Amino acid sequence: MSLSVKIRKKMDSFVLDVSWQMNNELAVLFGHSGAGKSLTLQMIAGLVEPDEGKIRLGDVVFFESKAGTRLKPQDRHLGYVFQDLALFPHMTVYQNILYGGYGISKTEKESMAVEMMRRFRIAELRDRLPGRISGGQKQRVALARALMRKPRVLLLDEPFSALDASIRLGMGRLLKEVQHEFNIPVVLVTHDLHEARALADRMFVYSAGKIIQSGRPDDIIHLPESQELMDLVESSAYRTQEPAAIWADPLRWELNRTP
Amino acid sequence: MLAFIFCLLLAAVAVEDAFAGTEIMISAALSLKAPFEDIGRIYEKKYPGSKAVFNFGPSGTLQKQIEGGAPVDVFASASPKELDDLASSKLIVSATRVDFAGNSIVLIAASKAAVRPAAFSDLAKKNINRIAIGNPASVPAGKYAEEALKNMGLWENLKVKLVYGEHVRQVMDYVARGEVDAGMVFLTDAIPRSGEVEVIAEAPASVYKPIVYTMAAITGTKNESAARNFIAVVISKEGKEALRKHGFVVNLHR
Amino acid sequence: MDFASWFSLRLSLQVASMATAFVLLFGVGLAYLFAMKDFRGKEVVDMLFTLPLVLPPTVTGYYLIVLFGRKGLIGRPLFEATGWSFMFTWQAAVLASFVVALPLMIKTVRAAIESVDKNLIRASYTLGHSRFTTAIQVIFPLAGKGIVAGTVLSFARAMGEFGATLMLAGNIPGKTDTMPLAIYSIAGSGEWSKANAMVILLTVISGLLLYIANRFGRRLI
């Protein structure tokens, strides 16, 4: 299924004006903070409305300014993992995950939740409150919750930024597995170039509300088309710094294996 | 949620009790509570099957309620002003209007006090140091006290000895506890506490504007004849006796 | 203490409970509206609802007569249609307490709702849940402390309500004289020891109820 995004919105400090497309793969929106990456995610989800444009997933139109179509977030059947994870603090892990099963019958929902917890290895945290679990565990709960409904597209806003380096590897691997298994478009926002390179099938580089380059991560990194991008790559210290075993090449190939 | 339903039920069952006979509503100034409750009983005995229901409050509030259409049959106020206002809005039956009582300003002292004045003139003596009256700016009894003292020619000398109470209760407390040597209040204020304070003297009626309690039936009442009956009881011999017992002045000529 | 005083105490408890129940119903809903929605004239409406907090209760009572008295904007059509009027009834006491306590609930709950992390609300929407379900399962539980506080405040305010009640419900012994009104009457006729006894009783009962409400409320959250 293809996800096509064409949006324009005037913000305080810049004008967001982007147009891109992707299929069932993992795409990364990369760039400095404040460039419009998270905003794009929010618009795909229907939490923020563009001034004009069209957002389409497969043959379902989420938003089209000309036709006046605007689907509510509830009706877009997507999965969203927020930057702060947004786990409900008054519900246990199990209840949080159950809450993601909107529209599913009670018994089926319960068995699905149990299966999710087993698969994401959080079964023993079942009755704990979010306040009492680690960052990596919270991540997995948020992901499990978002996947309960078998969403048609998965959006993640800087999901790994608060995690320890050692945890990120496992999460990255998990995310790639999920993408392959569900076979849906996955859009990931990050400002970490190593992460982008390791996970992305395709990358869109944002700067001040515009896309300055897009393509495969390796192409972009080795052949930046603008001074700005070159500076970006440099400032990520990609070349000068050992990327640390976490995103080391052999592992990257493993993560990026094509089905 | 349960509590809500419970209370709804309780409330619905609780308060109203159906009454078959004639029931009249009398709005009366709060100071008339004691005598009117007595008069209510006299009225009910005289007219079996009838009931007198009272609504006590400040005269101004009672007036506003009547203007707002409250179901009142008789209105008794602590001054003619409220009835004048209602009369100009044609809300009272003028033919039934009657001044039925007055009040008097009295000098009081603690019953057990060693040092007491024997008359108003004694207040100037050296052994009387403090005199309590209501604050003339806000308490009606205080305003009358000031007027009386001025007209008796005692105001200038006594000004420095005066202690203001913010309401009548405070004045009574000061006197009862001996914090002051004497006080001035309405006779009707002093009567309920006649164990603790003693009435020394009554200021002559000529030194203050008369305090007039007025009443009338309200127009549009379904029970006008019952209202008239009640008013008649108030100005009857028994009614006057009930009023006098509680300290009101009842020898009015009208 | 005599029968009349027990009646007043019972009446006060009934009136306050009923008023608080209505305040909960409308107050939480209105607080949600103010916290979550923007509409034209919002600040004006908010000000109108806050007015009873600022005005002397007697003035509030006067406006209630203008609205609900027999000749009032709402009272007249009501009387003409049903022959029934608010004035001098115990229902008026409930209405008066409701009006003065409502702003307390609205303000408290609104602040509590506004302090709920907005991402939690957005997350609920993306997971497919309607605004209503989100309100019930996410927003209100997280605003719970505010709702409990608002309820306690409203009940306390209703128990002590005097000015507006006196205006609209009247001070009718055996019918509408809630504790504060009864104390006023008794004090007015100089029976201070009796008034003191009632004051102490009212204080003790109210204090006990507030204590219980606080403990219960804390356990809920």
Chain C closest-CA separation from residue B153 CA (Å): 31
Domain boundary among A150, A175, A204: A150
Distance CA A211, CA A223 (A): 16
Widest pairwise Cα distance in chain A: 57
Chain C closest-CA separation from residue B61 CA (Å): 6
Nearest-by-Cβ selection for B68 from C58, C87, C184: C87
Tell me whether residues B189 and C190 touch, CB distance under 8 A. Answer: yes
Provide the pLDDT for residue A63. 95
Tell me whether residues C124 and A99 touch, CB distance under 8 A. Answer: yes
Tell me whether residues C90 and B15 touch, CB distance under 8 A. Answer: yes
Distance CA A55, CA A4 (A): 6
**Closest chain B residue by Cα to residue C174:** B15
Residues A197 and A122 in one domain: no
pLDDT digits 0-9 by tens, A63-97: 999 999 999 999 999 999 999 999 999 999 999 99
Provide the pLDDT for residue A259. 44
Q: Which tokens hold the place of A140?
A: 């997995």
- Identify residues of C whose CB sits under 8 angstroms from chain B CBs: 10-11, 14-15, 17-18, 21, 24, 58, 62, 65-66, 69-72, 75, 79, 85, 87-88, 90, 94, 166-167, 170-175, 184-185, 187-192
Domain C14-172, CATH = 1.10.3720.10
C contacts of A100 (beta carbons < 8 Å): 127
B contacts of C173 (beta carbons < 8 Å): 54, 56
Provide the pLDDT for residue C76. 93
Give the mean model confidence (pLDDT) for residues A127-138: 93
Neighbours of B98 (CB within 10 A): 16
Tell me whether residues A74 and C128 touch, CB distance under 8 A. Answer: yes
What's the mean per-residue pLDDT of chain A?
88
Residues A179 and A250 in one domain: yes
Tell me if A73 sits within 8 A of C122, measured CB to CB. Answer: yes
What's the mean per-residue pLDDT of chain C?
92
Of B241, B139, B239, the residue nearest B189 (C-alpha): B139
Provide the pLDDT for residue C167. 95
Residues A146 and A161 in one domain: no
**Mean pLDDT, 10 residues at a time, chain B of 254 residues:** 57 53 92 94 94 93 93 94 94 94 92 85 88 89 91 90 89 90 92 88 90 94 92 94 92 54
Domain boundary among A150, A165, A190: A150
Domain with A11, as residue range(s), is 3-78+156-255
Determine contact: A145 vs chain C, CB below 8 A. Answer: yes
Residues A113 and A201 in one domain: no
First to last CA, chain A: 16
Residues A109 and A45 in one domain: no
SS3 A96: helix
DSSP A241: S
B contacts of C97 (beta carbons < 8 Å): none
Q: What domains appear along chain B, each with residue ranges and CATH number?
A: 23-102+211-245 (3.40.190.10), 105-207 (3.40.190.10)
Neighbours of chain C (3+ CB pairs under 8 A): A, B
Nearest-by-Cβ selection for C65 from B57, B65, B193: B65
C contacts of A89 (beta carbons < 8 Å): 142
Size of interface B-C (CB pairs under 8 A): 101
Where helices occur in chain A by DSSP H, the ranges are 37-45, 93-99, 106-119, 135-147, 165-182, 193-199, 217-222, 227-235, 249-255
Chain B closest-CA separation from residue C147 CA (Å): 14
Residues A162 and A227 in one domain: yes
How many CA atoms lie less than 13 Å away from B112 in the CB half-sphere?
6
Provide the pLDDT for residue A256. 52
pLDDT digits 0-9 by tens, C37-75: 999 999 999 999 999 999 999 999 999 999 999 999 999
Q: Domain count of chain A?
A: 2
The residue among B127 and C142 whose pLDDT is bigger is: C142
Asked if ipTM goes beyond 0.95, one says: no
Question: Strand order of the sheet with strand A3-10?
Answer: A15-22, A3-10, A52-57, A60-64, A69-70
Q: Do chains B and A touch (3 or more CB pairs under 8 A)?
A: no
Residues A34 and A144 in one domain: no
Residues A166 and A243 in one domain: yes
* Best residue in C15, C151, C189, C196 for a mutation probing chain B (most B CBs within 10 Å): C189
DSSP string computed for chain C: --HHHHHHHHHHHHHHHHHHHHHHHHHHHHHHHHHH---TTHHHHHHHHHHHHHS-HHHHHHHHHHHHSTTSTTHHHHHHHHS--STTSHHHHHHHHHHHHHHHHHHHHHHHHHTS-HHHHHHHHHTT--HHHHIIIIIHHHTHHHHHHHHHHHHHHHHH--HHHHHHH---TTTT--HHHHHHHHHHTT-HHHHHHHHHHHHHHHHHHHHHHHHHHHHH-
C contacts of A80 (beta carbons < 8 Å): 122-123, 126
Three-class HEC string of chain B: CHHHHHHHHHHHHHCCCCCCCEEEEEEEEHHHHHHHHHHHHHHHHHCCCEEEEEEEECHHHHHHHHHCCCCCCEEEECCHHHHHHHHHCCCEEEEEEEEEEECCEEEEEECCCCCCCCCHHHHHCCCCCCEEEECCCCCHHHHHHHHHHHHCCCHHHHHHHEEEECCHHHHHHHHHCCCCCEEEEEHHHHHHHCCCEEEEEECCHHHCCCCEEEEEEECCCCCHHHHHHHHHHHCCHHHHHHHHHCCCECCCCC
Domain boundary among A134, A150, A166: A150
Q: Which tokens hold the place of A246?
A: 């976490």
Tell me whether residues C175 and B53 touch, CB distance under 8 A. Answer: yes
C contacts of A73 (beta carbons < 8 Å): 122, 125-126
Residues A100 and A62 in one domain: no
Facing residues of B202 across strands? B106
Provide the pLDDT for residue B5. 59
pLDDT digits 0-9 by tens, A161-179: 878 877 888 888 899 999 9
Tell me whether residues C90 and B4 touch, CB distance under 8 A. Answer: no
Determine contact: C130 vs chain A, CB below 8 A. Answer: yes
- Give me the percent of chain A exceeding a pLDDT of 70: 91
The phi and psi torsions of A151 (rounded to 5 degrees) equal -65, 160
Determine contact: A150 vs chain C, CB below 8 A. Answer: no
Tell me whether residues C66 and B14 touch, CB distance under 8 A. Answer: no
The residue among C4 and B187 whose pLDDT is bigger is: B187
Asked whether the predicted pLDDT for residue A245 surpasses 50, the reply is no
* Best residue in B2, B5, B7, B67 for a mutation probing chain C (most C CBs within 10 Å): B7
* Domain boundaries of chain C, sorted by first residue: 14-172
Neighbours of C83 (CB within 10 A): 7
* Best residue in C127, C131, C139 for a mutation probing chain A (most A CBs within 10 Å): C127
* Best residue in A74, A83, A147, A156 for a mutation probing chain C (most C CBs within 10 Å): A74
